[in-house]
Amino acid sequence: MSKFKEKEKAISLRKKGLSYNEILKNIPVAKSTLSLWLRSVGLSKEQKQKLTKKKLAAALKGAKVRKDQRLDITKEIKDKAKNEIGKLSNRELWLIGTALYWGEGGKERQFGSLLIFGNSDANMIKLYLKWLKRICGVNKKDIHFRIYLHKTSKYRLKIVQKYWAKVTNFSEINFQKITWKKNKINTNRKNIGDNYYGLISIIVKKSTNLNRKVQGWIEGIYKHCRVV
């Protein structure tokens, strides 16, 4: 096909509302050449809208492809990392739970204090309860709970109580103690809506000496890791 015929065809396709990339698939010329040929070709309002929709659709398609690629890469990395952990021994659970309490638990004061742990992560709560029972030998009847919930979520209290009962495998009757938190004006909190279940605090009855023991375990960790 001669350059003249290619130009005529390009102009004809452009007038039909095709984009530059669509035209280039039919006419293999340099994009700069095509731009030169078509610079004087006007498009109707309807054709411009059609091209805009095509560009938007292409952009969304590209974004979806990139998102799917990121998700695939993330899954591959996480699956590999997950398998690296393998089966955990009781000793490993002991150390993990101790480190967990070190970061999220209440500390021993001068006159002693109970073992208190609080978090909003359901899996962390499950792991901590397993550590309490299996490693610390805490009896289920000595475990108490308190829910910390924002006042704006008061209408969801029953849902929240059911949620934590299911997470912990305790009866709903164990979740009657509630501390209501005041909402700050212009808050940027993200833990709102249907996925917000507040924070759960776990208190072990008569656990002052157990808390002292756990503090000793914590000291043992940083001593043997030679950070002091």
Per-residue confidence (pLDDT) for residue 15, from 0 to 100 = 76
- Each of the 228 residues of the chain gets a pLDDT tens digit; together they read 577 788 778 878 887 778 878 888 888 888 888 888 887 776 666 676 777 777 788 888 888 889 989 999 999 999 999 999 999 999 999 999 999 999 999 876 655 689 999 999 999 999 999 999 999 999 999 999 999 999 999 999 999 999 999 999 999 999 999 999 987 645 555 556 788 999 999 999 999 999 999 999 999 999 998 887
Per-residue confidence (pLDDT) for residue 112, from 0 to 100 = 66
CB atoms within 10 A of CB 100: 16
DSSP designation for 41? -
Q: Whole-angstrom Cα distance, residue 199 to residue 178?
A: 10
CB half-sphere exposure, 123, CA atoms < 13 A: 0
- Domain positions in the chain are 3-64, 90-224
Per-residue confidence (pLDDT) for residue 188, from 0 to 100 = 58
Q: Whole-angstrom Cα distance, residue 156 to residue 205?
A: 28
